[in-house]
Amino acid sequence: MLYFSKLKITLIALFTLFMVMVSSSNFLDLDLDKQKKIKLGLDLQGGSYLLLELDNEPVIKQKLQSKLLEIKDYFKKNKIKILSLKLDDKLIKLKVSKDDVEKISEIFSDKESTINPYYFQYKAHQLDVKINGDVFNLELSKYGIILIKNASLDQAIEIVRKRVDEVGTNEPNILKRGNDRILLELPGLDNPDRIKSLLGKTADLAFRLESESSNESFGTEKLKLIETGEELLLSKRVIISGDNLVDASPRMDSLNNQTVVSFTLDRVGSKRFAQATKRNIGTRLAIVLDGQIISAPVIRDVIAGGSGQISGGFTFQSATDLALLLRSGALPAPLNIIEERTVGPDLGQDSINAGILSLIIGFLLVIGFMTFKYRIFGIIANFTLIINLILLISILTLLEATLTLPGIAGIILTVGMAVDANVLIFERIKEETSKEKNNLIAFDNGYSKSKITILDANITTIIAAIILFIFGSGPVKGFSITLCVGILTTLFSVFFIARLLTSIYVKINKHKEIIIK
């Protein structure tokens, strides 16, 4: 165990030197583009962490509504008679004549079917079909729902990204979580209120006409005007929606000194807008945002240029926000904030200071204790500990890991526990030297006999750390990473660095009596 070839010694030395360089890049500002550094977690650098959940109910309802129409069309085209077809909460109930049941059931279970698509990757249909006499009960299958959720989540992430980018925070981190959640990390942002209010709006914009009677073919509904509270009866027909907008910006209207949002429409939108304004001069045109009317001006003339403006008693800030929302597009469904953690920058700095102070003190206490207890071997253990820390920092750097406050605690804990392996070896050597006169053999035995114990003992901690990594969230994950890496570097430094140093010491003092206190 004590023999090291020259090659091995060189390799260990080179590796350690390399790691020293890697870890030093955290403290030196070398101005390299690809310089890797440990990132500070939000709890240390300050910032906001938001977990958003997409409320997919309306999306699923809408999907079912359109499925209903699809079925109607499909049956009409294939000349199959429908006795009744209705949507009951999330269940489509389709009643047909008894003779058609078999044929229809074949259509629904056909893997090539367009009406009930088959997803080969999940080996499942979009709809679960249950036949009850002459009634088909159709329900979205588990995977049908997952696909809808995934699609709307992807769409939502895009919109969230656009909105966050428009606000211009530095290096936001936007991640998908499951199939209906978005995790948003905003470093350096100590007041997330503006982002929260921007994300809290679906920004579903529609231009709709006021209706005179409630029996219009598209249906009507009553909506409130935000400013006055006045209720207007509006047609459900959407003339142009947010999708038709190509640009929007806040502007001062010089005529009446109001802040307005001016917008530009795409070609389809311009055409439709021109037609609608031409036909409905004198009618009120309601601009509806998320189910509320922002304003409802009377159409006085044809608007043909493909641009216009929305007024609604905006302040400059609210006009800016609305323009931003319109530019970034509508969310497919409302987003709810289900978790928020914000740390101010001064608390983050305090935490860094406290973390570093306790690391230094903990380190000095352990080093002092080991030197006092083991003298020369204590110094070997301490030197090993320093190398261990350097390795730990460099591996965290190479992984570009995120350092959190519990992560710093993990490093300190590593300092405390890392000496364990050396202690196990030293104690073992102590026993061996009492039996064996030859120093080399005694040391060799000490190392080989304690090897299994050291591995056993450290594997248990690694198991705990891995489980914590899987189930932990946020800062706690940072703790499990440092703990895990810390154990690995401990094993390396004990079995290579400390063993090398011990072997050198023993070879020099081959014939002297070595006493480990």
Partner 1 sequence: MKKDYRFNQYYKSLNVFSIALILLSLIFLIFKGLNYGVDFKGGTLIEIRVETEKPDIEILRSSFNKLNLGKISIKNFGSDNDFVVKFKRDKLNDPEFIENLQRNLSQELTQDFSFRRVENVGPKVSSELLKAGVTAICLSLMAMLIYIWIRFEWQFSVGAIAALFHDVIITLGIFSALSLEINLSIVAAVLTIVGYSMNDTVVIYDRVRENLKKYSDIKIFDLTNLSINETLSRTIITSSTTLLALLSIFLFGGEILKGFSLAMILGVILGTYSSIFIANPLLVFFKVSQKTVLKEDN
Q: What residues numbered 432-461 form the site for partner 1, per CB under 8 A? A: 452-453, 456-461
Tokens of 60: 């699923």
Distance in Å, CB of 452 to partner 1, minimum: 7
Taking residue 371's Cβ as centre, other Cβ atoms within 10 Å add up to 15
Interface with partner 1 in residues 135-174 (CB under 8 A): none
With binding defined as CB under 8 A, does residue 502 bind partner 1? no
- Nearest approach in angstroms of CB 510 to partner 1 is 24
Residue 495 in contact with partner 1, rule: CB under 8 A: no
Piece of the chain touching partner 1 by CB under 8 A; list 111-119, 157-165, 294-302, 405-413: 405-413
Distance in Å, CB of 336 to partner 1, minimum: 6
Q: Which residue number, 152 or 482, has a Cβ lying nearer to partner 1?
A: 482
Q: How far is the CB of 480 from partner 1 (least distance, A)?
A: 7
The owner of tokens 């101005």 is: 31
Q: Does 431 bind partner 1 (CB under 8 A)?
A: yes
Residue 135: name the closest of 74, 92, 75, 77 by CA. 92
Note the residue count of the chain.
517
State the minimum distance, in angstroms, from the CB of residue 186 to partner 1: 13
For every residue of 32-87, which 3-state class applies, written as one string? CCCCCCCEECHHHHCEEEEEEEECCHHHHHHHHHHHHHHHHHHHHHCCCCEEEEEE
Residue type, 66: S
Shortest CB 33 distance to partner 1, Å: 34
- Site residues for partner 1, 215-254, by CB under 8 A, read none
Compare residues 254 and 434 and give the one whose CB is closer to partner 1.
434
Dihedral angle computed from the Cα positions of residues 348, 349, 355 and 360, in that order, rounded to the nearest 10 degrees: 170
Beta bridge partners of 52: 182, 337
Residue that is written with structure tokens 């060189």 in the block: 10
Of 413, 441, 501, 504, the one binding partner 1 (CB under 8 A) is 413
- Interface with partner 1, residue 322, by CB under 8 A: no
Of the residues 200, 226, 488, 501, which one makes contact with partner 1 according to CB under 8 A: 200
**Which tokens hold the place of 299?**
């159409």
Q: Are 101 and 94 in contact (CB under 8 A)?
A: no
Single residue of 83, 91, 365, 399 touching partner 1 by CB under 8 A: 365
Tell me which amino acid residue 252 is.
Answer: M
Q: Which stretch binds partner 1 (CB under 8 A): 114-122, 294-302, 337-345, 391-399?
A: 337-345
Residue 29 binds partner 1 (CB under 8 A): no
Q: Is 370 in the site for partner 1 (CB under 8 A)?
A: yes
Helices (DSSP H) in 168-213: which residue ranges?
193-199
Question: Looking at beta carbons only, is 1 or 299 nearer to partner 1?
Answer: 1
Task: Give long-range contacts, CB 8 A cutoff, 24+ apart: 500-503.
Answer: 500/4, 500/9, 500/12, 501/380, 501/383, 501/384, 502/2, 502/377, 502/380, 502/443, 502/447, 503/2, 503/3, 503/4, 503/443
How far the first Cα of the chain sits from its last, in Å, is: 22
Out of 145, 286, 409, 429, the residue judged to bind partner 1 by CB under 8 A: 409
Determine, following the binding rule CB under 8 A, whether residue 514 of this chain makes contact with partner 1.
no
Considering only residues 53, 158, 221, 266, which one is a binding residue for partner 1 as defined by CB under 8 A? 53
Q: Which residues ranging from 371 to 390 are in contact with partner 1 (CB under 8 A)?
A: 373
Position among 129, 240, 419, 497 found at the interface with partner 1 (CB under 8 A): 419
Nearer to partner 1, 86 or 517 (CB): 517
Binder to partner 1 among 118, 143, 369, 383 (CB under 8 A)? 369
Do the beta carbons of residue 26 and residue 40 sit within 8 Å?
no
